[in-house]
A and B are shown apart, each in its own frame.
Chain A
Amino acid sequence: MEEPRTGVYVCNCGTNIAKVVDCDAVADSAAQLPGVVVARSYKYMCSNPGQEMIAQDIEEHALERVVVAACSPRMHEPTFRRALQTAGLNPYFLEMANIREQVSWVHDDGAVATQKAKALVHAAVNRVVHHEPLDRMSVDMCPNTLIIGGGIAGMTAALEFAGAGKQVYLVEKLDHLGGNLARVDLTAPYLDSARDIIADRITRVTDNEHIDVMLDAQVQSLDGFVGNFKATIRRETGLEGDGPTVSVDVGSVVVCTGYKEFDASRVTHYGYGKLPNVITSFEFERMLHEGRVETKEGRLPQYVAIIHCVGSRSPEFHAYCSRVCCMTALKYAREVKSALPKSYVSDIYVDMHAFGKGMEDFYRRSAEIKTLFLMYERGEPPVIRRADPDDDCEMLIEVHEQLSGEVIEIPADLVILMVGMEAREDSGEVARLVNISRDKDGWFIESHPKLDPVATTTEGVYIAGTCAAPKDIPDTVAQARAAAGRILGKIARGKIDIDAVYAEVDEDKCSGCRVCNELCPYVAIEYDAETRRSHVISALCKACGACVAACPSGAIKARHFTDEQIFAQIEGVLA
């Protein structure tokens, strides 16, 4: 068999690769390989001139295969596949050799690194010979959307869909909409009323003909795949327990299940639950809602202390920052001062995170109203004790104050603990239900933290708001709208492309043992009881290869990862 005509392109990645690897030598060695008709080294292959170079060579040299030795395929495989497609070549006739992450970034010795790069290129050239032209499939997209969670994120997303005339099923576990935001009085930094923000949305959501609001309801199961899900929703009917279930067809799911607040009683040195006037931020919100800032005994506090990072940024509890507490604390300082102008507010913080629009200004104004900012170190949190009878305060807070280097005691009559956000206790259940993953803290994991923050690894399932990580209202709303935008784009197309790389069961070979059924992490393999054969739902398959390796009959083949291709690649590395 004559080798297909192959082009090899070695990227310098500026100096990222070239400073360790002799790229010209790699190209020269590749040029000697069978089938290689052109081999080049270039500064930035991913740039437009780089891509045009490939397209031009495909035409001039009638290339049938392309190997790009550059960064990780996670980074630029889609870029180069597009380049092939533009030049009229099947995009799957591309193979990438990762000579950046796997070579230049991890080796110092140029000679050895160059040797390794040559071997990886050889492997890629060997492999690409066996590539097959693959076609992407497309499936119909159901225009309905299921939204789980009726907080600010869920309601915002629902209104986006409804505005586009698309049907939404909004499922809320509680008997009312609004989520955690409904428990908040004013919002930082502009001191808008949360109630106004929420009330308006609740009315619009409830009255909208396109939004089917299901209160006291939970999603019981979700089957199918992107564009074609079937969700079963159970409504609670009170004491009876399980109520009636409804089944709906949806094309996408947006998970907006939010957060729960940290349990302050887990921190012992603050005496929460023992000292009556040590309260959490949400308890203080309730006070503000009721319009009375006072101690449990009904007295007006002279000294109010606010302690940051309760449960957050601590090695014992949660290592992450809950993002909203700093500005909420400043909001409290202002609300206390406005309710009790003669009071003294101490704000006991670790670092002041004033990262958003208008927040630095908010911080400055909070200082101007004489908030006393005291800085403690994470390892040395404040300790609260009861004051002596002759003190003019109820409690004393000992702080190892960082900006002065002094150990001080600050008087307090009311202490507000800024409790952080944590993943809801049912987040694991939700993750299993919609087949998405959680990080070590229980937050849902996005497809890419920067470039794809609302999608998940399960296509058709999106996450928005604080179920993914702590965030403030603007970010939550932005994510909800982003998820809706992503889905509406797909609905507008009517069809969804499915990657051509997936596993296939040769049903003639399948013995119906169902080993693969349990193994598949994406629940992409279905067993047909009638034919007693398993088959892969290609839209759900992520081509991880677990079933391919496990199948005792060798009945499963992974497209684009055939045995032939892998063996050729290994031979190339070892050559």
Chain B
Amino acid sequence: MAIRANPKLIDELEPYGAEDVVKCYHCGNCSAVCPFSKQPYVFPRKPMRFLQMGLEEKLKSELDPWLCYYCGQCSDQCPRDAEPGETMMSLRRWLTSRYDWTGISRLFYKSWRFEVGAVILVALLTVIGFLTFGFSQGNIDHYDGPNAFLPSSSIHIFDWGLAVVLLALLLSNAARMWWFTTGRDKSLRVPLGAYVTKAYLLPVHFFTQKRYSQCEHKSPWAIHLALVLSYVTMLVLIMFFLRDMASGPAVDWRVHVFGYLATVGLVVSTVVFLRRRIRKSATQYKHSHESDWIFLILLLAVAVTGILQHILHRSDLGLEANMMYVTHLALVVPMLVLEVPFSKWSHLAYRPLAMYLADVRAVALERREPASEPAGELRTA
């Protein structure tokens, strides 16, 4: 049965950044030079072809875009300047919008104005909400203690509430990703055991970014890993040690030393990435989508306002510390609410999941048609 091609899809992908894919004439240099392109996941040429022809469902089934870490070698080798690396990046954006069932992601990627507007709106609502809450029960001059403007116990409850909602969104999107790429393929009989035996790959890839480290240039991986670990550290501190974080004004080194390290990690990594994108210092930094900027700027601003709030609190400036706290929350909440499920931040879930599913699928493919190459972890590791 012939698959219907949709020549219009290429127009749809344009706002996601895939402007140059039309130039590709399929010499295959990109797939030949890519260090990660191996059977059964051969890219970027193949997904580029599906995109040109508008084979939407085929594209949705692809894990390939997530197996690419955009080292840029393919784009450097391309004789037609079709930017295969950027096309893969655009496909990741587009896939993110397909996994998201609410449709919000699509709106964000298609219009940066919409995304910025949403960030501002959520920020304003956050400010109004926390000011109303603060004034209703506390003193704006008090950062901690019984009269605290934003007591850590309440914020802790708010954080956990938010976490549950975000987790639900992210998990439902991840489930859709599994369905599109693995679940719905009837010809692919994935043995349940494979899901179990390969499960260790999820934390491995999440915490080590192992695959990224295999790119020729190591610095993007190192900075990215610093960002990930800093973020995770901060997340653990906030979710489990918020009370110790907010107490003071004395510095509790047992907790705060981790906070400082994480903050330094976040500030340094975001600044380095921003600088590289501004200077377009390497192929993978040449094409920045609006969503890349919004994400990096938000993250940097969150880190900076967090540390400022901390300093003001330790300096016994209760009013200023509270105002900075509200500002910090006005950045954190939109970052979490909007970026995690609907925009660039969501790749923290999709990437390790893709590595895991890629190996799981490889096992199933191996069983279906035994190949000459060994299956298993070799695929993604």
Contacts and interface: CB of A to CB of B under 8 A. Distances in A.
A197 interface: no
Contact of B3 (A344, A367, A406): A406
B40 to A, nearest CB: 13
A372 B7 contact: yes
Contact of B7 (A369, A407, A410): A410
B10 to A, nearest CB: 6
Contact of A364 (B1, B7, B80): B80
Contacts of A371: 22
Contacts of A346: 7
A353 to B, nearest CB: 13
B4 A404 contact: no
A535 B8 CA distance: 75
A303 B7 contact: yes
A398 B5 CA distance: 10
Contacts of B80: 364, 367
B26 interface: yes
Interface string A403-417: 110111111000000
A95 interface: no
Contacts of A411: 4-5, 7
Nearest to B4: A409
B2 A344 contact: no
Interface string A96-130: 00000000000000000000000000000000000
A367 B24 CA distance: 8
B: interface residue count bin? 20 to 34
A321 B181 CA distance: 43
Interface string B18-60: 0000111110000000000000000000100110110100100
Contact of A406 (B7, B10, B24, B55): B55
Given A372-B52, A372-B53, A373-B25, A404 B7 contact: no
B96 to A, nearest CB: 24
Contacts of B2: 398, 407-409
B25 A404 contact: no
Contacts, number: 62
A250 B201 CA distance: 87
Given A372-B7, A398-B2, A404 B49 contact: yes
A469 interface: no
A401 interface: yes
Nearest to A344: B7
A325 interface: no
A410 B11 CA distance: 16
Interface string A389-429: 00000001010010110111111000000000000000000
A408 B56 CA distance: 12
A344 B10 CA distance: 10
A370 interface: yes
A371 B10 CA distance: 11
A374 B49 CA distance: 10
B26 A367 contact: no
A368 interface: yes
Interface in A306-363: 344, 346, 352, 363
A370 B25 contact: no
Interface string A33-52: 00000000000000000000
Contacts of A396: 4
Contacts of A368: 22-23
Q: Which of B11, B22, B24 has the most CB of A within 10 A?
A: B22
A404 B55 contact: yes
Nearest to A410: B5
Interface string B258-272: 000000000000000
Contacts of A408: 2-5, 53, 55
B53 A404 contact: yes
Contacts of B24: 367
A205 B377 CA distance: 76
A352 B80 CA distance: 15
Interface in A146-192: none
Contacts of A403: 26, 49
Contacts of B1: 407
Nearest to B54: A372
Contacts of B53: 372, 374, 401, 404, 406, 408, 410
Contact of A409 (B3, B23, B52): B3
A171 B11 CA distance: 53
A401 B26 CA distance: 12
A57 to B, nearest CB: 56
A396 B11 CA distance: 20
A368 B2 CA distance: 27
A473 to B, nearest CB: 25
B10 A370 contact: yes
A401 B25 CA distance: 13
Contacts of A344: 7-8
B25 A367 contact: yes
Contacts of A303: 7
A367 B82 CA distance: 10
Nearest to A383: B2
A411 B22 CA distance: 18
Interface string B160-174: 000000000000000
B51 to A, nearest CB: 11
Contact of B50 (A372, A373, A398, A404): A404
Contacts of B55: 404, 406, 408
A47 B258 CA distance: 85
A401 B53 CA distance: 10
Nearest to B22: A370
B47 to A, nearest CB: 10
Given A372-B53, A401-B53, A409 B22 contact: no
A382 to B, nearest CB: 11
Contacts of A370: 10-11, 22
**Among A363, A364, A373, A403: residue with most chain B CB under 10 A:** A403
A44 to B, nearest CB: 40
Contacts of B25: 352, 363, 367, 373
Nearest to B50: A404
Contacts of B50: 404
B147 to A, nearest CB: 64
A370 B23 CA distance: 8
A573 to B, nearest CB: 55
Given A370-B11, A408-B2, 17 more contacts: A344-B8, A346-B7, A364-B80, A367-B22, A367-B23, A367-B24, A372-B5, A372-B52, A403-B26, A404-B46, A404-B50, A404-B55, A406-B55, A406-B58, A407-B1, A408-B4, A410-B53
29 contacts: A303-B7, A344-B7, A346-B7, A352-B25, A364-B23, A364-B80, A367-B23, A370-B22, A371-B22, A372-B5, A372-B10, A374-B53, A396-B4, A401-B53, A404-B49, A404-B50, A406-B53, A406-B55, A406-B58, A407-B1, A408-B4, A408-B5, A408-B53, A408-B55, A409-B5, A410-B5, A410-B7, A410-B53, A411-B7
Interface of A: 303, 344, 346, 352, 363-364, 367-374, 396, 398, 401, 403-404, 406-411
**10 tightest Cβ-Cβ pairs between the two chains A and B:** A344-B7, A409-B2, A404-B49, A408-B5, A403-B26, A407-B2, A410-B5, A370-B22, A398-B2, A367-B23
